[in-house]
Amino acid sequence: EQQSIASIAPESGQYKTKVTISGTNLLGGGTEVASVTLAGVAVDEVSEESDTEIIVVVANSTADTGDVVVTADTGAFVTLDDGWEYTTNGKIDAISPESGQQGSTLTITGASLLGGGASANSVTLNGVEVADIVVSNESMVIVVAALSDTAGVGDVVITADTGAEVSASEIFTFLEPGNITSIVPATGQEGTSVTIEGTDLLGGADSAATVSLAGVEATIESSSATQVVVT
């Protein structure tokens, strides 16, 4: 049976994009793929292979448009002319705020953040998966930070639904988790002045936005990283 590539999906992408090559007799009578190149660049990984379907992970490249070439371990090869296009690699320009802790809402801005995908599949801050992805598009991704047991500076990595990956090194700082050490008095009613003390109470912010006592919102009189006074 003649080797042929029927389709490639998606037909464009960038670093870490997962690509499915479909066709007939793709292994050319052999048992496995020897190599796959996209526009002359060897793929980062061949994750699945058969005579009818090969799934690969795109390598990092600045190449443009070119052929898809599948070479089997027998030396047999099949080509799809101009079947692949490298899109411009995504870039993270900034994250705001640049530090935070569990519950912090963070906005990541840049270009081609999804690498041509439709949405962000995952976002990690210093290796910790975020608690929620609120918004994701090519220019902005908004996330809510999860709990991290380790404070410090680390990378931001966005992985799109296509597998495309965009990252920036050491641009976000996890702060020490906040800790309430005392509340005085511990009981009261309407009008009671309550002092809450602890460490990193504001999570790196300038002021407290809300405080609730047993689920009831209180009026904030003053707030700092070590003390919040409410009524």
DSSP state of 90: P
Tell me what pLDDT residue 49 has.
96
Span 64-98, pLDDT tens digits: 999 999 999 999 999 999 999 999 889 999 999 99
CA 159 centroid distance within chain: 4
DSSP 95-157: EESSEE-TT-EEEEEEESTTTT-SSEEEEEETTEEPSEEEEE-SSEEEEE----SS-EEEEEE
Answer whether 14's CB lies under 8 Å from 112's CB: yes
Region 132-155: mean pLDDT is 96
Q: In which band, very low, low, confident or very high, does the pLDDT at 62 lie, cut at 50, 70 and 90?
A: confident
Tell me what pLDDT residue 203 has.
86
Cα dist from 82 to 6, 74, 184, whole Å = 13, 24, 71
- Percent of the chain having pLDDT more than 70? 100
Cα dist from 199 to 39, 105, 152, 164, whole Å = 55, 20, 17, 39
Single pTM value for the model:
0.84
The Cα 144–Cα 130 span in angstroms is 6
Phi and psi at residue 77, to the nearest 5°: -140, 155
26 pLDDT above the threshold of 80: yes
Q: Which residues, 6+ apart, have CB-to-CB distance to 223 below 8 Å?
A: 201, 202, 207, 208, 229
Tell me what pLDDT residue 182 has.
97
Q: In which band, very low, low, confident or very high, does the pLDDT at 1 lie, cut at 50, 70 and 90?
A: confident
Give the closest residue to 101 by CA, choosing from 122, 125, 121. Answer: 125
H helix runs in the chain, sequence order: none
Q: In which band, very low, low, confident or very high, does the pLDDT at 205 lie, cut at 50, 70 and 90?
A: confident
Region 136-142: mean pLDDT is 97
